[in-house]
Amino acid sequence: LAKTTQPISMDSYEGQEVNITCSHNNIATNDYITWYQQFPSQGPRFIIQGYKTKVTNEVASLFIPADRKSSTLSLPRVSLSDTAVYYCLVGRNNAGNMLTFGGGTRLMVKP
Amino acid sequence: DAEITQSPRHKITETGRQVTLACHQTWNHNNMFWYRQDLGHGLRLIHYSYGVHDTNKGEVSDGYSVSRSNTEDLPLTLESAASSQTSVYFCASSVQRGTEAFFGQGTRLTVV
């Protein structure tokens, strides 16, 4: 399983764009990159998934360079409610995928 | 709407007792997972299942067991509860081919 490395914590202010980078140097050819968000006292929630280049949905964007050894989750114009822990996962998008979470990045959004 | 539910939400038990945490999903997902999360830490995988009668050990499986007799349920049993098993437990499910998992609300277990 590809190991991921993320910053432990980040601070931001309301209205700013936040970029959280995840390193996954030994990502395999068949691996996808998935990001989850977790609020206190809740289970993680799927945010976005990608394989290469850029993926965008109503919540976030995911940028993946050509070598796929890292990825960046971009949250546009964060609000206080975006304060959470964000997890980067790398795994195969096929039968038998096993979701392994790392330590995550604790994002604090300040007024 | 389809959902995944855990019960109980809170449980206090004594050291040495057997405890079973329930997890029920109505998405008909093949994959189901149990994690534990200790205060200020990430999630650690306990056990997982890829289908009925299939179970696998995760990274922290000692002292825990699961069984999968149908698609909807994956109960987690602590055979002899220990104080080190005080934690929040999350159950999750996902489709067979995908990494988008859906998590329950968690069970806070305290072993005294």
pLDDT tens-digit profile, chain A (111 residues) = 568 999 999 999 999 999 999 999 988 888 889 999 999 889 999 999 999 989 999 999 999 999 999 999 999 999 999 999 999 988 876 555 667 788 899 999 999
Distance CA B20, CA B93 (A): 18
Cα separations (Å) of A99 from A3, B13, B78, B109? 12, 29, 22, 22
Which residues between 56 and 75 in chain B have a beta carbon less than 8 angstroms from any beta carbon of chain A? 56, 58-59
Residue A100 has a pLDDT of 77
Task: Collect all residues of chain B within an 8 Å Cβ-Cβ radius of residue A32.
Answer: 99
Structure tokens at A98: 């096993």
Question: Do the Cβ atoms of B25 and B102 come closer than 8 Å?
Answer: yes
Task: Collect all residues of chain A within an 8 Å Cβ-Cβ radius of residue B43.
Answer: 44, 87, 101
Backbone phi, psi, residue B85, to 5°: -95, 5
Distance CA B94, CA B97 (A): 8
Q: What is the pLDDT of residues B6-34, one digit of tens each?
A: 999 999 999 999 999 999 999 899 999 99
Distance CA A111, CA A11 (A): 11
Note whether B43 contacts A101, CB cutoff 8 Å. yes
B87 pLDDT above the threshold of 80 = yes
Task: Collect all residues of chain B within an 8 Å Cβ-Cβ radius of residue A91.
Answer: 99
**Burial readout B23-35 (b: 16 or more C-beta within 10 A, e: otherwise):** bbbeeebbbbbbb
* Torsion from C-alpha of A107, A109, B3, B9, nearest 10 degrees: 80
Q: Which residue is listed with tokens 């399983």? A: A1
Task: Collect all residues of chain B within an 8 Å Cβ-Cβ radius of residue A44.
Answer: 43, 90, 92, 101, 103
Cα separations (Å) of A59 from A19, A78, A89, B53? 13, 10, 18, 37
Instruction: Report chain A residues touching chain B, CB-CB < 8 A.
Output: 32, 34, 41-46, 49, 85, 87, 89, 91-104
